[in-house]
Amino acid sequence: MQAAQNELITRIGPGTPCGALMRGYWQPVALCDEFDPALDARTATRPVKRVRVLGQDLVLFRDAQGRWGLLDRACAHRGADLAFGRHEPEGLRCPFHGWKFAVDGRCLETPAEPLGSTLCARVRQRSYPVRECSGVLFGWFGDEGSMPPELPAFDAFRAPPSHSFAFKGLWHCNWLQAFEVGIDPAHPSFLHRYLQDEQGGDAYGRQFRAVSVGDVDGERWPMTRVMRERTSPEIRHDEVAPGLTRITALRIINDHLTHVRVTHAVFPYTFVIPLSESVTITQMHVPVDDTRTYWYSFFTSFDAPLDKATMRAQRLRGVSLPDYLPLHGAHDDWGFDPEEQRTRTYLGMGEEDINRHDQWAVESMGPIQDRTREHLGTSDKVIMAHRRLLLKAIEQVQQGARPPMALDAGEAAALDGPDTIDCIAPAARWEAFWRDAAAAKRARAPWLLQPARAAVQAADEDAR
């Protein structure tokens, strides 16, 4: 890749071509958990948080009516930082001269002005729409007055709170390299390789290691054995809809059986992967700026309700609050242990949390990966396809056209799923097998059954 192209697809600040593309989508800006007094006692009396997204400094807050406000941090008066504003029932007041702003950016008071002044009626703080979905607050950063797209009707955004959980973490690298690790079907055979297998147990980070994906000659194979012993998958990628790509990795087990892993890439920076036989991860990679990225993971259960308290507690052990910063990183070599690398894992950076493996891979590339020095191979075909799509989408936005996955209501409602699977299938009919397995998983989901049952009951009542 040429240096100019690398610059084009990685820089996302205001006024950049890729930044203009990114501002065509809803962006996660915070977890709802970040305003939970049990996790941050300060929010009980002052629900105000500074955030940075797409290279913009913002302040996120909630007023006494429970409405969310997302404003530029620089006060419209003389630029003081509103993240230090006084939280009041109607909005946020700048401590510099007392100007107060509502959640929609209206200036409510300018108390230092002469009696009868109409200045506040002529001033507005730039505000951004906020919506809450699946435990995450999303912000819309498109041009003022423009219509935000709809989020697709994916499982991650439809599942009830009992069957969904969201978490996040910060990586010190550009958004694109953070995303590309997740759509790479070959890397789990190496980066996440364990030198021994374990069965059973639900400890954080061990689901990937212990999950059994099917029978081979009557023996249950854990995922790690499949990845360790079958390192060169056949990789296929198919466009399901504009901007939605199904990625299939086939690992031949023997003459009769094939391991099938189906994941999805969602433009511009989301992937959907299986965590276990009943839980899916939808992960978004939100640019903080050019050299930092927050990943947001949505966990969706198709079986029993999730134990969110346990999931949260397990993951909080790896970060520092209130900003969800990883405890390990370049400062301590990501916790690298040469003895572990020799005897237990291929990488040597912990057995409990494979997320740290990905963190090392993307952060060790540097703040912005220099793609002019790459030597890509056949196993990188999905990466190359996404980069072509990204370049094309940037050009579309520059020409005034709508990019992929910037959906209207009808388009969004039509995109459900997407299905993911890890399974061992009969080699001769692997495609039908994985689709049947995915359909069976969905059929067991109680929250998907409820609408179907309601429809049947309504039809019965109409018939009567």
Assess whether pLDDT exceeds 90 at residue 453.
no
Residue 461 lies in a domain: no
Residue 348 lies in a domain: yes
User: What range defines the domain where residue 43 resides?
Assistant: 26-140
My answer on whether 86 and 37 are in the same domain is yes
Q: What is the mean pLDDT of residues 202-224?
A: 62
Assess whether pLDDT exceeds 80 at residue 215.
no
Q: What is the mean pLDDT of residues 138-153?
A: 94
Name the pLDDT band for 456 (thresholds 50, 70, 90).
very low
Assess whether pLDDT exceeds 90 at residue 145.
no
Assess whether pLDDT exceeds 50 at residue 345.
yes
**Model pLDDT, residue 348:** 95
Q: Which among 77, 111, 140 is the end of a domain?
A: 140
Residue 455 lies in a domain: no
**Model pLDDT, residue 354:** 87
Residue 123 lies in a domain: yes
Residue 112 lies in a domain: yes
Residue 366 lies in a domain: yes
Assess whether pLDDT exceeds 60 at residue 296.
yes
My answer on whether 169 and 94 are in the same domain is no
My answer on whether 39 and 171 are in the same domain is no
Assess whether pLDDT exceeds 90 at residue 225.
no
My answer on whether 121 and 223 are in the same domain is no
Q: Which among 140, 166, 186 is the end of a domain?
A: 140
Percentage of the chain beyond pLDDT 90 is 84
* Least confident interval from 64-68, 151-155, 189-193: 189-193
Domain count within the chain: 2
Assess whether pLDDT exceeds 50 at residue 461.
no
My answer on whether 337 and 386 are in the same domain is yes
Assess whether pLDDT exceeds 60 at residue 239.
yes
Domain CATH for 113:
2.102.10.10
Assess whether pLDDT exceeds 60 at residue 356.
yes
My answer on whether 183 and 297 are in the same domain is yes
Residue 357 lies in a domain: yes
* Least confident interval from 164-173, 286-295, 300-309, 349-358: 349-358
Q: What is the mean pLDDT of residues 250-266?
A: 94
My answer on whether 260 and 355 are in the same domain is yes
Assess whether pLDDT exceeds 60 at residue 396.
yes
Domain CATH for 218:
3.90.380.10
Assess whether pLDDT exceeds 60 at residue 17.
yes
Kindly tell me the sign of the dihedral angle through the C-alpha atoms of 190, 194, 199, 204. Answer: negative
- For the chain, the three-class secondary structure string (H helix, E strand, C coil) is CCHHHHHHHHCCCCCCHHHHHHCCCEEEEEEHHHHCCCCCHHHHCCCEEEEEECCEEEEEEECCCCCEEEEECECCCCCCEHHHCEEECCEEECCCCCCEECCCCEEEECCCCCCCCCHHHHCECCECCEEEECCEEEEECCCCCCCCCECCCCHHHHCCHHHEEEEEEEECCCHHHHHHHHCCCCHHHCCCCECCCCCCCCCCCCHHHHCEEEEECCEEEEHHHHHHHCCCCEEEEEEEECCEEEEEEEEECCCCEEEEEEEEEECCCEEEEECCCCEEEEEEEEEEECCEEEEEEEEEECCCCCCHHHHHHHHHCCEECCCCEECCCHHHHHHCCHHHHHHCECCCCCCCCCHHHHHHHHHCCCCCCCHHHCCCCHHHHHHHHHHHHHHHHHHHHHCCCCCCCCECHHHHHHCCCCCCEEEEEEHHHHHHHHHHHHHHHHHCCHHHHHHHHHHHHHHHHHHC
**Model pLDDT, residue 273:** 96
Would the pTM of this model clear 0.85, i.e. be above it? Answer: yes
Residue 161 lies in a domain: yes
Closest CA to 265 of 398, 381, 359: 381
Extract the tokens encoding 430: 């692997």
Q: What is the mean pLDDT of residues 425-442?
A: 93
Q: What is the mean pLDDT of residues 416-443?
A: 93
My answer on whether 291 and 212 are in the same domain is yes
My answer on whether 112 and 193 are in the same domain is no
**Model pLDDT, residue 449:** 79
My answer on whether 436 and 301 are in the same domain is yes
Q: Which among 140, 164, 194 is the end of a domain?
A: 140
My answer on whether 106 and 228 are in the same domain is no
**Model pLDDT, residue 202:** 53
Assess whether pLDDT exceeds 90 at residue 436.
yes
**Model pLDDT, residue 168:** 98
My answer on whether 218 and 346 are in the same domain is yes
